[in-house]
Amino acid sequence: MKKAVNVFLCVLFLLSLRPGEAMAVVGGNYSHFAFAQNEIRIFLNGQEIFMDTAPVIEAGRTLVPARFVLEAMGAVVEWNDSTSTVFVKMDEKTIELPIGNRTVRINGSPLRLDVPARLIGNRTFIPLRFVTENLGAEVYWDAVGRTIYLQLLSLEEVLIRQEYSPYYRDLKVEVETYGIALGDTAQRVILLLGEPARKDATIYGYTWWIYNRDMLNYLQVGIKDGKVMTIYSCGGEWNFGTITRGSRLFELEEGFSTSDVLYVDSIWTAYKLHLPTLIFNNMVATFYYDAHDQDKITAVRLEDREVAVDRYVLFFKHRSSGGSSTGKKEPLPAQIMRDAEAGDERQIFDLVNAERARRGLPVLNWHGPAALAALGHSTEMFIHDYFSHYSEVTGKALDQRLDDQRIVFTFAAENIARGQLDGIEVHHGLMNSYGHRENILHKNVRSLGVGVYRECYTQNFVTER
C-alpha cells in the first residue's frame, strides 16, 4: 500500500536586546533563631491554643510545636525516626517536612521553604503559616496584640474570601479563568477543580497541573511554592474583561495597549514579544489567536510578572542554542531537563487533541515509537545545529526514521519547530502555519508522537496499516 508523507517546518528565533538572637544547636547544625516572648497567643477559630513551649522566631518566620496546633485543627501528626521527617495528614493532603531541610513535599510535589522544620530539644517545631495555610487555614498576625489568628475555613468560606486576587485589583476588568486566579493557593485549586490529571515539570520554577479530562475546557495551572503563578487555557470559559475565546484580535488591540518588548531592568535586557501581550505591574497576559480564522483569539496565558521574566531568562540560559542575556550558558542536570521536555511533549499532544475535539475530529492516540523517532530527530537537529526534515547526519527522511522504529504506516506527516519557549507557544505557532495546521487537523491521522530536545520540537503523525 502506498505511503503518504507530509512534512512541514516552523522556526521562531527569539531575540534578546537582571527580637534579639540566640545561638543554639538544632538538628546537629548551628542556626540563629530567637525564642518568642511568652505573651504571643494563638487562636484557632476563636479558641485559644495553650502551649507549654514558646514559639520560635527564625528569619522572620514563626515556628511552633507541631502537635499543639495541628492536632487542634484535626490533622494527624506522625514522626519517622529513620528519616527525621514529620508527616502531617489532613483530609486528602499529606505534608512531609524533613528536619532541617528546606525542601518539603505536599502530596508528593516538592516545594521550597524559607525556614525548615526544626528539632529543638525533644520537640519538633514547624513553620506555622506554611503548614496551616496548606491545610486550608487563613493566618492573620496582630502585631499590636502579638496574637496569631488561625481560621480553618469551609469550602464555601474559601471561595468567598479568595474571590478577588490582588493581581487583578489594578486591572479595572473582570478576569475569569475557571474560578482560579493568580495568587490563589494550591489547596483552592484542588477544592475547585479536583486533583489534576498529571503534573508536568518545567525549568521555569513552577509545575504545570494539567486538567485535560474535558478537552473543550482544557486548562493548565502553574504552581510554585504552593501558589498559582501562571494559568493557561484554550477552553471556552475564560474572559479578560470583554475579551473571550472567539474575540477578534483588533478588539484586544482597541481595548488595551499591547507591548512589543518585555524589559528587565535588573539585567538591562529587552525580550522581543511575538504575541499580543499586556504587561502590568504584577502580571503579564499573553493572548493566542488563529491567523487562519479571522484572527480570532483562541487562548490566554496569565503569568506573575517575575515568572514571565524567568521564562525568557531561563530559556536562553538553559535551552537555547543562542546567547544568554546574562552572557552565561548553564546546562541543567540531564534528568531535570528531560522531565521538562517530556512535559512539553505531553502538552503539545494534548493541545493537538483539544483542537481536534473542538472541530469534531477523532482525538489521537499517543504513539510511543513515533515519539522516539521524533525525539531522535529533535536531538540531532539541536546537537548538529541544523533545521530540516532531512537529516544532515544520516540523510534520512521521515519515512526512513519511522521504518527504523518498525512502524508500518499508510500515512505519516511531520511538523518541526525551533526557538519557542515551551510547548504552548509551539502549538499556537504551528496552528498559524497552513501546512502544519493541515497536519494537525488531518482527518485521516490516528496517532501522534512528539519529541522535544532543548529548543527543538518534532511532531510525527502516523496512521498505521
Separation of alpha carbons 393 and 61, rounded Å: 57
Give Dmax (Cα) for the chain: 84
> C-alpha grid cell for residue 425?
507557544
Separation of alpha carbons 465 and 400, rounded Å: 16
Show the 3-state SS of the chain: CCCEEEEEEEECCCCECCCCCEEEEECCEEEEEEECCCCCEEEECCEEECCCCCCEEECCEEEEEHHHHHHHHCCEEEEECCCCEEEEEECCEEEEEEECCCEEEECCEEEECCCCEEEECCEEEEEHHHHHHHCCEEEEEECCCCEEEEEECCHHHHHHHCCCCHHHCCCCCCEEECCCCCCCEHHHHHHHHCCCCEEECCCCCCEEEEECCCHHHCEEEEEECCEEEEEEECCCCEEECCEECCCEHHHHHHHCCCCCEEEECCCCEEEECCCCEEECCCEEEEEEEECCCCCEEEEEEEEEHHHHHHHHHHHHHHHCCCCCCCCCCCCCCHHHHHHHHHHHHHHHHHHHHHHHHHCCCCCCEECHHHHHHHHHHHHHHHHCCCCCCCCCCCCCCHHHHHHHCCCCEEEEEEEEEECCCCHHHHHHHHHCCHHHHHHHCCCCCCEEEEEEECCEEEEEEEEEC
Separation of alpha carbons 344 and 425, rounded Å: 10
pLDDT at position 31 is 38
Q: Strand 118-120's sheet: what is its strand order?
A: 22-26, 29-35, 56-58, 61-65, 123-127, 118-120
CB 418 within 8 A of CB 457: yes
Closest CA to 207 of 335, 113, 108, 90: 108
Q: Which amino acid is at 161?
A: R
CB 59 within 8 A of CB 115: yes
> C-alpha grid cell for residue 354?
483539544
| Residue 406 CB coordination number (10 Å) | 7
> C-alpha grid cell for residue 89?
495528614
pTM score of the predicted model: 0.69
> C-alpha grid cell for residue 75?
490533622
Q: Give residue-wise pLDDT tens across range 400-428.
A: 999 999 999 999 999 999 999 999 999 99
pLDDT at position 14 is 35
pLDDT by residue, tens only, the chain of 465 residues: 345 666 555 444 333 322 222 222 233 333 344 444 446 788 888 888 888 788 888 877 888 888 888 888 888 999 998 999 999 998 888 999 999 998 999 998 888 888 899 888 788 888 888 888 888 887 877 777 778 888 886 656 555 555 556 678 777 788 999 989 999 988 888 888 999 999 999 999 999 999 999 999 999 999 999 999 999 999 999 999 999 999 999 999 999 999 999 988 777 788 889 999 999 988 999 999 999 999 999 999 999 999 999 999 999 999 988 654 445 677 889 999 999 999 999 999 999 999 999 999 999 999 999 999 999 999 999 999 999 999 999 999 999 999 999 999 999 999 999 999 999 999 999 999 999 999 999 999 999 999 999 999 999 999 998
Span between the terminal Cα atoms of the chain, in Å: 8
Closest CA to 448 of 170, 436, 77: 436
Q: What are phi and psi of 414, to 5 degrees?
A: -135, 135
Side-chain half-sphere of 183: how many Cα atoms within 13 Å?
12
